[in-house]
Structure 1
Amino acid sequence: MKLLLLLGLVALSQCLVSRVPLRRAKTLRQSLQEHGLLEDYLKKHPYNLADKYFPKQHSAEPMTNFLDNSYFGTISIGTPPQKFTVIFDTGSSNLWVPSVYCSSPGCKDHRRFNPAESSTFVGTNESLYIAYGTGSMTGVLGYDNVKVADIKVIDQIFGLAETEPGNFFSYCLFDGILGLAFPSIASSGATPVFDNMMSEGLVAKDLFSVYLSKDEQKGSFVLFGAIDHAYTTNGIHWIPLSAETYWQITMDSVSIGGEPVACSNGCQAIVDTGTSLLAVPNGALNAILGALGVSVGSNGQISCSAISSLPDVVFNIHGNAFAVPPRAYVIEMAGSCMLGFQGMNVPTEAGELWILGDVFIREYYVIFDRANNMVGLSRLS
């Protein structure tokens, strides 16, 4: 039970974002114009043509691997910069961090953004609400300069958390979340950070790529605007998106030992860096456990000595087989072992959703291509 509790506390895997449609936020120009501040603001923030005509080629943000359960990097917001650690989450679209207006335990234990200490901050009256599986946040939207790796995004809209109910975020080592999914699922219509990078010509290519290290090793990163071909020596398999919401794709089936065990008639899946485990429909989970010879009532706990005898779980996607070996889907911690599968029913118009979290992503270098609406997977050696 200690292992299960720790996984629930430190990982974003339990936190599937539930978006609530709210009013679309006003643009920065509209907000400033309404308050008679636009002319003065433009004088203080001249448009930098160099960013448009001489964009950065690429910029890598290193990420810390915490117990193979969460990966987070450092960004800065404001002038002078205030630093925050964030999850780079392909399963959501909003950027938010705790603010000084928040007194919830989840805020007190983390860095909090102070608008009064930033000369470039512009506030709004627009509210923000995001609900997760084990927690939520409410706050207000504001604009300020955001720096990710070497890329500086001017006037990025972001959330300033005013409440973080419950205790979940108190246990997380990261401060906030930077969403990398599509604008269509952004709460309050806020423009995602990567969309601004693209529109402002700050990346050479409209894509980013992710490498997640194994066994708590260093070296994890998210690379904006480029593909590091040192990680693609096994070739890249390109998969078209089935929806421009999450990074959603169609799976053909899931098989074990050459036999389909789930998703036999096809199903939908999202590639989600903000989820630690493999989240699957409950019925599919029971089928997978049965095929692996694990009791349904075991909560996925197994003997660590059994790892060597377990088969690969193979995800058949777009005509290619993507195997996840037992050393990847069995999680060992404090002398105990459990399967890295979690049952969770997430209904969509096309059926229940599978979530290919970090357990899957660690086996592949993943390219998230906005220009062509595709996901690229390259098997890591």
Structure 2
Amino acid sequence: GLLAAVVVALYACDDAAAAPTAFPIINGESDNSTIASRAPVSLRIPLTPVGEDLYYIASADIGTNPRPFNLVMDTGTSDFWVYAEACPQRGRHNGVSPAASPQMLVDPASRWSILYNEQSRASGIMARDTIHFGGVSVPGYLFGMAGSASGIITQSIEDGLLGFAPQRGSRMGIPSMAQVLARNGVIPAPITGWFLSRRRDGGRGGELALGTPNEAKFKVETLTPPIPNIGGIYWSVPVTGAKINGVPIPAVGNIAAVLDSATTLILMPHHDATAINQQLRAIYDATTENFYIPCNTNLQVSFTIDNQDWAIDPRDLVATRRMRPDGYCQSNIQGASDLSNTWMLGATFMKNVYAVMNYDTDEIQLARIYCTVKEYLDEWKNGVMRELPKSSTGDATGSYSPETATMHPTASSPTHPASLSPPPLLRLALLLVPASALARLPPSLPQCTRIPSAHAHAHCHMHAHRWRPTPLSSLPNQHAEKTKDARDGTAAAA
């Protein structure tokens, strides 16, 4: 995410390339002249949450390396790197190798190093190879090959990181994947759309859209006008206020907030975090400098962006880590000592909106997501009924059969009333919507749930961890929760 990334020209342990072959790097651009010509099409990349929605990964293949690479999808950084097979700290991570992918070109003279926080660093050299991502292949794509890594990133499950922040923030001087695909006519525009799912809801439905937003994932009529990106090298929006259950919190807001898919928490200056957590009836642990709130909170926090209030599901405010006294869990809104005029809106916030980022115009748009299956079906049904001629409203069942239906609703959350479970709703839709229109149903539904009732968190539980979380007090960088929280992924993936 928003990382205090520092690139220095150094001679790190970068013996990653067993058979180095020098090549020119011109303005950081990939040589993609061999991409097959075809009509531009938008791509839909499934995103999988790691642990309790710590961050999100997608899969890519690189050259002829035998195994796919699990990559963090990161709106808060601009660079793309993976482990080299020869990296001493690679452990169980997948790594690239010229031996496995003979067409790969590497340049030992092009060194890079990125400092993520006091505990994490990756460094290496630049390489070119064909990247297979989202069903398309991009020959000659530039990326970093990490021959050395240190800190918590070596303990997490991902094999690398693919950044989608603006190109001007790239420490390697390379454009983002969306820009490369758009410049070569693979997708219609350098636009990304982000829908982050919840593990508690089954984890399905998360998606990165490349080229155009996926209108099946959000309420189209709620899409904001374009908001100028005020973050320079990051995707940032102005937050003008914060509320608890609709009541403004004094002196909180009027600040730039970075949308960061690879940061878990909402991070902000301590005075802002204190003001919000006090309203959430928090207690403060001075030893760890963490706030803890009731595990069963049903209070709704919202932030004002573009003159609209964007609410956070109360479930997303509560982490699974508990403390004494019983009934208190770590808050997902925390203070960071080195944040003075910036907020970090990580997955805790981004799970509750659909975010669109446009590289050409340097603008951001937000939209509201569907919060029940019924809400989605009602809006879809009303749209179909408005568009169909009255004479088309014939037999509702027609040729439809459950075996051939194109709609696959996901299981409802335990906090849903039984009346909102998908099968009855689907039957209701079939009774009211003409069979001729059923083919227009989207292949999948957005994954989100309504605001839970007050007792939804009566049983806040602790997952088994293979590590202990590092307290924020020992992580002065604002991205304390980004790579740190990769820890949960190992246990979750096991």
Q: TM-score range by the shorter chain?
A: 0.7 to 0.9
Moved more, 275-284 or 324-333: 324-333
Residue 273 of structure 1 is matched in structure 2 by: 261
Task: Map 1:1-381 onto structure 2 (within 5 A).
Answer: 16-22=2-8, 32=23, 47-48=33-34, 50-51=36-37, 54-66=38-50, 67-79=52-64, 82-104=67-89, 107-124=90-107, 125-133=109-117, 134-166=119-151, 168-214=152-198, 215=200, 216-233=202-219, 235-238=222-225, 239-256=227-244, 257-264=246-253, 266-297=254-285, 299-305=290-296, 307-308=297-298, 310=299, 312-332=300-320, 337-346=329-338, 352-380=341-369, 381=371
After superposition, the Cα gap between the structure-2 partners of 1:359 and 1:33, relative to the gap in structure 1 and judged at 3 Å, is closer
Q: Secondary structure at the match of 1:116?
A: coil
Q: Secondary structure at the match of 2:285?
A: helix
Residue 37 of structure 1 is matched in structure 2 by: none
TM-aligned CA deviation for residue 108 of structure 1: 1.2
Matched AA of 1:212: L
Residue 6 of structure 1 is matched in structure 2 by: none
Number of corresponding residues: 338
Matched AA of 2:230: S
Q: Distance in 1 between matches of 2:70 and 2:358?
A: 24
Moved more, 90-99 or 371-380: 371-380
Q: Distance in 1 between matches of 2:168 and 2:82?
A: 21
1:321-356 alpha-carbon deviations (Å, 9 max, x no partner): 111132221223688622111212445xxx621011
Moved more, 134-143 or 231-240: 231-240
- 8 Å CA contact 1:101, 1:162 repeated in 2: yes
> What's the TM-score, normalizing by structure 1?
0.82
Q: Distance in 1 between matches of 2:32 and 2:167?
A: 26
Q: Distance in 2 between matches of 1:185 and 1:16?
A: 10
Q: Distance in 2 between matches of 1:219 and 1:231?
A: 9
TM-aligned CA deviation for residue 21 of structure 1: 4.5
Moved more, 295-304 or 134-143: 295-304
1:129-159 alpha-carbon deviations (Å, 9 max, x no partner): 1111241111111111112111222211111
After superposition, the Cα gap between the structure-2 partners of 1:329 and 1:161, relative to the gap in structure 1 and judged at 3 Å, is same
Q: Distance in 2 between matches of 1:109 and 1:49?
A: 32
Matched AA of 2:365: G
After superposition, the Cα gap between the structure-2 partners of 1:91 and 1:172, relative to the gap in structure 1 and judged at 3 Å, is same
Q: Distance in 2 between matches of 1:46 and 1:163?
A: 28
TM-aligned CA deviation for residue 80 of structure 1: 5.5
TM-aligned CA deviation for residue 194 of structure 1: 2.4
Q: Structure 1 stretches (4+) deviating beyond 6 angstroms?
A: none
Q: Distance in 2 between matches of 1:235 and 1:121?
A: 45
- 8 Å CA contact 1:345, 1:352 repeated in 2: no
TM-aligned CA deviation for residue 82 of structure 1: 4.6
Bigger Rg, which one: 2
Q: Distance in 1 between matches of 2:294 and 2:94?
A: 40
Identity rate of aligned residues, in percent? Answer: 24
Matched AA of 1:121: M
Q: Distance in 1 between matches of 2:69 and 2:24?
A: 30
After superposition, the Cα gap between the structure-2 partners of 1:59 and 1:46, relative to the gap in structure 1 and judged at 3 Å, is closer
Q: Distance in 2 between matches of 1:81 and 1:185?
A: 31
After superposition, the Cα gap between the structure-2 partners of 1:377 and 1:84, relative to the gap in structure 1 and judged at 3 Å, is same
- 8 Å CA contact 2:79, 2:172 repeated in 1: no
TM-aligned CA deviation for residue 16 of structure 1: 4.7
- 8 Å CA contact 1:157, 1:191 repeated in 2: no
Q: Distance in 2 between matches of 1:368 and 1:322?
A: 17
Q: Secondary structure at the match of 2:186?
A: coil
Matched AA of 1:20: V
Residue 421 of structure 2 is matched in structure 1 by: none
TM-aligned CA deviation for residue 262 of structure 1: 4.5
Matched AA of 1:237: T
- 8 Å CA contact 1:346, 1:352 repeated in 2: no
Matched AA of 1:89: D
TM-aligned CA deviation for residue 60 of structure 1: 1.3
Residue 479 of structure 2 is matched in structure 1 by: none
Q: Distance in 2 between matches of 1:97 and 1:224?
A: 21
- 8 Å CA contact 2:69, 2:160 repeated in 1: yes
- 8 Å CA contact 2:62, 2:68 repeated in 1: yes
After superposition, the Cα gap between the structure-2 partners of 1:33 and 1:19, relative to the gap in structure 1 and judged at 3 Å, is closer
Q: Distance in 2 between matches of 1:346 and 1:186?
A: 22
Query: Structure 1, unaligned stretches of length 5 or more?
Result: 1-14, 24-30, 35-44
Query: Structure 2, unaligned stretches of length 5 or more?
Result: 10-21, 26-30, 372-494
After superposition, the Cα gap between the structure-2 partners of 1:236 and 1:345, relative to the gap in structure 1 and judged at 3 Å, is farther
